[in-house]
Structure 1
Amino acid sequence: MYGSTAARTRRWSSSGSSAYTSPAPDSPLEQAPWSTARREAYANDRDSPHTLIAISAASNRSKADKDPAEWLLSDGSYHCTYAATWVGMKLRWDLAGDENERQALLGLAEDCTTTTVVYEPAP
């Protein structure tokens, strides 16, 4: 499930009943010991095709800042894409994950054998 490439694409996809743009998988900024400038760069990242994904407002509220161990969209057909996006964001920003998150992602990866993680390290 892990891979890397500098390829850039933009996609608009709806993963819920209504189009609602939300920052791609939120990873709490508190876990990263970053400068204010780095936090702002993360929060305003427009260089990744996965910065915003379309989900319903209800899904966005239920997700909050939960990781894949705590929350996944009810639409199972999107789980592989979501996991790849999550991992790509973690790799892009060099963010760590906890053991529960790791185990959840490994479990998802078992069903996502054709999914590739695409990311470009953040500047």
Structure 2
Amino acid sequence: MKLRIAIAGIVACVLTLGLGLVAPVVTAPPAEAVTKISARKLLRQLPVASETNKGYDRSAFPHWIDTADKDVCDTREEVLIQEAIRAPRVTASTCAISGGKWRSKYDRVTTTNKSTFDIDHVVPLKEAWASGAKRWTKSTRKQFANDLGYRATLIAVSASSNRSKGAREPHQWMPPNRAYHCTYVKQWIAIKWRWSLKVNQKEKTYLRRQLDACDSVLVNKPRRAT
């Protein structure tokens, strides 16, 4: 009996080592404040000024970099892993992602093919540039473009909805999924507050009106970006 147990243990170890070549990468969720705050309060604190995207170039925001958690996954891959509604298998040595399932919050599209999904900057890079990021150092813009410190900043959505959105502000584009509207505007406000970005008057008026239609205006309070 003891011999059988010993043999079974050896077999289990061998199988574990073999299967370890492709194993789920357990990524802890990024540190994020759990204190709730009124999105209205955050909106009132945002500076109001005209915006211009003159001089914008996407290369000013280095993105999809290797993250600081000592694995081989870049920012895009980290978000795909976090956003999966069915956990994918991830090759530990290369962060190759297989399996898994995702649902786009913007339009409720569901997929098992990650190549049909984009990682969206909820506040687009071009919008951030126009709202104040043009005055940042390239290092700070890199931090913004790869921000895993506030979960709402980067989300996995269908490529079609992301392309439809482009760099437009909420008064110019809202997700087709109307049930997500309140969440979207609250997160937009919170991200702008986190990074001390400004809003223009039309944008602020629209955001305020959208909040008026929400059952709750509470949002996870982000920490100010360093």
TM-score, with length taken from structure 2 = 0.48
Matched, 1:104 2:202: no
Letter in 1 for 2:211: A
Give unmatched runs, 5+ long, in structure 1: 5-9
User: Could you give the per-residue CA deviations for residues 68-109 of structure 1, whole angstroms, max 9, x where no partner exists?
Assistant: 111101111100000011001000000001011101101101
Q: Which moved more, 1:36-45 or 1:75-84?
A: 36-45
Secondary structure of 1:70 counterpart: coil
Larger RCO: Structure 1 or Structure 2 (Cα < 8 Å, ≥ 6 residues apart)? 1
Aligned positions of 1:73-92 closer than 5 A: 73-92=175-194
Give unmatched runs, 5+ long, in structure 2: 1-37, 43-78, 84-102, 112-116
Equivalent residue number for residue 225 of structure 2: 122
Letter in 2 for 1:31: S
| Distance change in 2, residues 1:57/1:18 (3 Å) | farther
Secondary structure of 2:176 counterpart: coil
Note the C-alpha offset of 1:116: 1.1
Q: Which moved more, 1:34-43 or 1:74-83?
A: 34-43
Note the C-alpha offset of 1:29: 1.8
Equivalent residue number for residue 22 of structure 1: 120
Distance 1:110 1:75 in 2: 18
User: Could you give the per-residue CA deviations for residues 5-30 of structure 1, whole angstroms, max 9, x where no partner exists?
Assistant: xxxxx973631214633222313324
* Among candidates 43, 56, 59, match of residue 161 of structure 2: 59
* Count, aligned residues: 118
Equivalent residue number for residue 49 of structure 1: 151
Equivalent residue number for residue 7 of structure 1: none
Identical residues among aligned pairs (%): 29
**Higher fraction of strand:** 2
Distance 2:162 2:120 in 1: 7
C-alpha RMSD of matched pairs (Å): 2.1
Distance 1:106 1:113 in 2: 13
Of structures 1 and 2, the larger Rg is shown by 2
**Higher fraction of helix:** 2
Ranges of 4+ aligned residues in structure 1 off by more than 6 Å = none
TM-score, with length taken from structure 1 = 0.83
Note the C-alpha offset of 1:37: 1.4
Matched, 1:71 2:169: no
Contact 2:120 2:154 in 1 (8 A): yes
Distance 2:147 2:186 in 1: 18
